[in-house]
Every structure is written in C-alpha cells, then in structure tokens.
Amino acid sequence: MIALDRLTKRYGDTTAVDDLTLELTPGVVTGFLGPNGAGKSTTMRMILGLDAPTSGTVLVDGRRYRDLTRPLHTIGALLDARAVHPARSGRDHLRAVARSQGIGSSRVEEVLALTGMSEAARRRAGTYSLGMSQRLGIAGALLGDPGVLMLDEPVNGLDPDGVRWIRTLLRSLAAEGRTVFVSSHLMSEMERTADRLVILGRGRLIADELTERLLAGDGVRVRGPHLRPLADALPGARWTGPGELTVPGLTGEQVGRKALELGLVISELGPIGTSLEDSYLHLTASSTEYGARP
C-alpha cells in the first residue's frame, strides 16, 4: 500500500504538488492521469525518496522509502526506461541491480523470460528500442517480487502486442493482491486497464473515482420498433436515431417498467456511457498549462 498525507512540493514560487492525500490499496490497478505539468512525475519521485516533500508524508507499506532495508522487495518502480548504462548488457544491468538487493541470478532469468527479453538480454542496452528498454525496466521493477509496483508511462514505445501484454500483466499482478500504480497519457489503455483513476491538475487532486463510475453517463438509451408512446410518456426523452431514444435522469429499470406498462417491445436497453477521453478532458479543461489554440 502507498499512503500520501497532505503531500506538497514547491520549487521556489511554483507548487508542483499541492496538499495531495491518497491511499493506494492492494488488489487494484490505479491509473494516474493529468496534463503535462500536473505533478504526476513529481509525486512518483517523492514516493521513491528522489525528491523531498516540502510538507506532508508518503509511506510505502507504513514506512518511508529511505527506511526500507531492501526496497525492491517492497516496491518496484520504472520512472525512466532509458536510465541504463548504454554499454552494459540488459542481463548484466539486472544482475547488478539484483546483487545490490540480495537477489539471486535465477530471478534475473525469470524476469527476463516474463518480459520477453531473454534473447535480447545479451545485447548492449544502448542498442535497444524504446519498447525493449521499457520491457527491461519492467523486468527490473519485478526483480524483488514486490507487493507494490509503480510505473510511469510503461506503454510508451510498445507495439500492439506489447501493449496487450503489459495490460494483462498489470491486471494479473493486481489480482494477486499487489498494489499497482501506473501513469499514462493513453486514455483508451487506461480505460481498459485501470480499476480506479486518480486525476491531477496543477498539482491538485481533481478526481479519485472507480473507472466504471467515471465512465457512466446520465440516463439510458433504448431501442425498439415502436417507441412513440414511450417518448410521449417520458419527459425529456429525445430521438437520437430511427427507433432509438435517450432518456436522461432515469434508470434502465424505470424505463423498462414504463415500456412494459405500455406493452412495447424493447430490443435494447442500457445506460448511456462516455469515453474516458471525454471525461478526462472535461475534468481537466481548466487545469491544462500548455494549451494550444486550435
């Protein structure tokens, strides 16, 4: 678990993270979203002790990161996929990290196989594509078999097969009871991967909500061959296509009961949904620091 309590970070007159309180729990993939400059990377750096908070606290499994004896056994992280000596092979890089944490070489081979890097591990890291560097970084984050995993933009540079692989990996790790905290600008992927979404804007918490609730719209959509009596009976109902109505402010059960009362045949009835991209842009509209004119 990761616990942030009134976490604040200022650089001179600039407040990068402003009074942020969060609790990231096991068994959940938490997506971390926000415009450029929102404070996501600064927050992650403070969790790892790379930046000191101006005020507030951040604990990993009840302790500060610097107090963890062998931190990779508690939290595995990937913040910069290119932060590897370019002349060192992928395997040697992982062996060096593993040795510093008292981890055996057999675990290095396990995580290389898990990330699909066994064959490429003999090559120098400086020859890797961005996608290969991401896989190596994820292998490093998994070395200590930690209960907490934190990844910053892990799908950057991955091909479609790699994107699906990491989505499956993150969800399986959460299903094992681990805390999974992942940032991304890819809304479609976060919509598929995250159970919970935390959104920052200008360093402040804008939203902390279950993904399904954030995507839920207001009202229902109903389709059928003869819906005119239903449209007349439900205030606010409007036609959105041939044989299709949207009804704001009511549940599917309420609309279904009215259709049954009127003796109407319904071919489809369901909630109106929205995309994560639309919800995100609506929530962050006033928090974008680098907005460009159309």
Summarised one tens digit per residue, pLDDT across range 54-76 is: 999 999 999 999 999 999 999 99
Q: Which residues have C-beta within 8 Å of that of residue 22, sequence separation ≥ 6?
A: 2, 3, 4, 198, 205, 208
For helices 130-142 and 90-100, the axis angle rounded to 10 degrees is: 20
Of 149, 94, 155, which Cα lies nearest the Cα of 122? 94
Summarised one tens digit per residue, pLDDT across range 132-184 is: 999 999 999 999 999 999 999 999 989 999 999 999 999 999 999 999 999 99
The domains located in the chain, with CATH, are 2-209 (3.40.50.300), 214-277 (3.30.70)
Banded model confidence at residue 251, pLDDT cuts 50, 70, 90? confident
Whole-angstrom distance, CA of residue 4 vs CA of residue 208: 13
**Residue that the structure tokens 């094992």 belong to:** 176
Residue 2 · residue 151 · CB < 8 Å: no
Is pLDDT at 288 greater than 80 in this prediction?
A: no
Whole-angstrom distance, CA of residue 129 vs CA of residue 125: 9
